[in-house]
Amino acid sequence: MRLVLASSSPRRRELLARIGVVPARLASPDIDEEPCPGEFPRPYVLRLAEEKAKAVERAPDEIVLAGDTTVAVGRRILGKPEDEADLRRMLALLSGRRHHCYSAVCVVGPDDRARTRVSDTIVAFKRLTAREIDRYVAGGEGMGKAGGYAIQGLAEAFVRYLAGSHSGVVGLPVFETRALLEAAGYDLG
């Protein structure tokens, strides 16, 4: 079986490499990532992972893996910041409080069955000063990241508590991914 990664994220490729998985090919699915009206964070991230996996054409000898990650404060979904002002707003909202990082994985195997899992990680940030927010925004690391931060980068210094999957916050929960790949018949060696 050949693995198709439905993502262009270098972080997802790096996380797969940690469990000895190298995709045979990459595909970037083009789907609408806007939340549906009234959609809660967990079903939202699960829907996106499944839609991404199903949007990629698959040969009979291929397994498709897709993922999506979002940050939520209560019922509010924090996607990728639109600009620096949006990034500042997100960091101010996360400052000194807990939030959830939902990371969904979907694997579609030869049987066409979509297997899914969601990792829910609770992350608590320290109270951020205006100076810390300014420095983080100026560094550009948070742009293009769910919730406006990269836990594998400088933002790790903001985390005072984490319960769940660190790799899920990065972008792909490795434990759940491995289980789904095995269930779909992918040989992990």
* pLDDT at position 23 over 90: yes
pLDDT of residue 176: 97
Pairing, β 25-26 against β 62-73: unpaired
* pLDDT at position 106 over 90: yes
Q: Is residue 169 situated within a structural domain?
A: yes
pLDDT of residue 36: 94
pLDDT of residue 188: 86
Question: CA 156, 158, 160, 164: dihedral to nearest 10 degrees?
Answer: -40
Number of domains in the chain: 1
* pLDDT at position 43 over 90: yes
pLDDT of residue 8: 86
- Dihedral sign (CA 17, 143, 137, 35): negative
What average pLDDT does this structure show over 92-109?
Answer: 97
- Dihedral sign (CA 184, 45, 173, 67): positive
Query: What is the C-alpha separation between 115 and 37, in angstroms, rounded?
Result: 25
**68 in catalytic set:** yes
Q: Is residue 170 situated within a structural domain?
A: yes
Give the domain CATH number at 170: 3.90.950.10
Q: Is residue 189 situated within a structural domain?
A: no
Q: Which percentage of the chain shows pLDDT scores above 90?
A: 95
pLDDT tens-digit series, residues 137-175: 999 999 999 999 999 999 999 999 999 999 999 999 999
Q: Is residue 188 situated within a structural domain?
A: no
Secondary structure (DSSP) of 142-188: TTTSGGG--TTTGGGGGEEEEES-HHHHHT--HHHHHHHHHHTT---
**pLDDT bracket for residue 2 (50, 70, 90):** very high
Print the domain residue range for 82. Answer: 2-183
The active-site residue, picked from 30, 61, 68, 111, is 68
* pLDDT at position 189 over 80: no
